[in-house]
Structure 1
């Protein structure tokens, strides 16, 4: 018997390295296999592993701002996310921000400690630099966080909408075929 693995002829070695690195990071989390986890369950698991509490903070963020933000303080990890997003989009934003936490991304400095104290005197200047200085959309860190978040989302299967709905008889075959595209670990599971 011959087993073949298809590979793109011109596979980008950097993309391959990123994928493998992200898969190792997610494997190292020790998430329970074939178990659906809610985002809250995932945060509790990550908190137990790191020894640091993670708090999710839904907020009405200003128009044009990022949909999410990870803020690491001396005692707690905070994930701030736009509360007006659709639940599936909220989940992806939260998973992306948790990806930054899991990858322990650092920010690029944008403000000196003195400038931070002048602008936001009640917050630690290091916290401000770490949060505001994070790179944006096309950076390696953003790509890594997005990939880690997507891998976790695939593994925890935490889509919260009901999986079982009445289906008209004429549509059952189509629904069955589309259902086969779901995460293989959860096929046949309606929990």
Structure 2
């Protein structure tokens, strides 16, 4: 699983600068998959998950708990991005929910799949969490380590003096 996650990252990393932000990461994944990705904060206290990914035919929407720490927020966003990069369809589908009139009015039927971590028992969740940890590690390691292949002038100076 670790090797598969590293392989997927090798496709993504060339699209990112040495030091990259969450926004740059989201944009790079969006470019890689050819669909926009929207990230939004939601009050999810009391819900079953602290992060959520909704998969549509034309876009991805990632939601995270608004009342969490910056590091946890990064882990949540990277976890949901990892689901996208791994091609996970989602563990929850509206098609699996029995419909009645009241429920049918509440459902956005354009959602193709939903990922919401409630445990780490499923392989998709383990893979997404491992990949998220690898991404976050690179985000933070890059803030203190010089680029291995410095491209920009400031990266070359930093590499030379580090």
Say yes or no: TM over 0.5: yes
Deviation, 1:140, is 0.8
Q: CA deviation at 1:70?
A: 0.8
CA RMSD of aligned residues (A): 3.1
Alpha-carbon contact 1:116-1:125 (below 8 Å) kept: no
Which of 50, 65, 87 does residue 82 from structure 1 map onto? 65
The answer as to 2:134 corresponding to 1:151 is yes
Q: Tell me if the contact between 1:107 and 1:135 (Cα under 8 Å) persists in the aligned partners.
A: no
User: Displacement of 1:139 after TM fit?
Assistant: 1.2
2:52 and 2:80 in contact (8 A); partners too: yes
Verify: 1:124 aligned to 2:109, yes or no. Answer: yes
Higher Cα Rg, which structure:
1
- TM-score, normalised to structure 2, is 0.75
Q: Which residue of 2 aligns with 1:69?
A: 52
Which structure carries more relative contact order (alpha carbon 8 Å, separation 6+)?
Answer: 2
Tell me the SS of whatever aligns to 1:81: strand
Q: Distance in 2 between matches of 1:91 and 1:78?
A: 15
Give a deviation string over 1:134-187, Cα, whole Å, max 9, x none.
77422111110011111111223389xxx8xxxxxxxxxxxxxxxxxx65759x
Where does residue 34 of structure 2 map in the other structure?
51
1:94 corresponds to which residue?
Answer: 77
Q: How does 1:154-165 map to 2 (within 5 A)?
A: 154-157=137-140
Alignment partners' CA distance in 1, 2:76 and 2:115 = 17
Residues 158, 113 of structure 1: alpha-carbon distance in 2 compared, 3 angstrom cutoff: same
The answer to whether the Cα contact below 8 Å between 1:34 and 1:155 also exists between their aligned partners in 2 is no
Q: Structure 1 residues 158, 123: closer, same or farther in 2, change over 3 A?
A: farther
Determine which of 24, 29, 40 is the counterpart of 2:12.
Answer: 29
Could you tell me the TM-score, scaled by structure 1's length? Answer: 0.64
Q: 1:83 to 1:114 in 2, by over 3 A?
A: closer
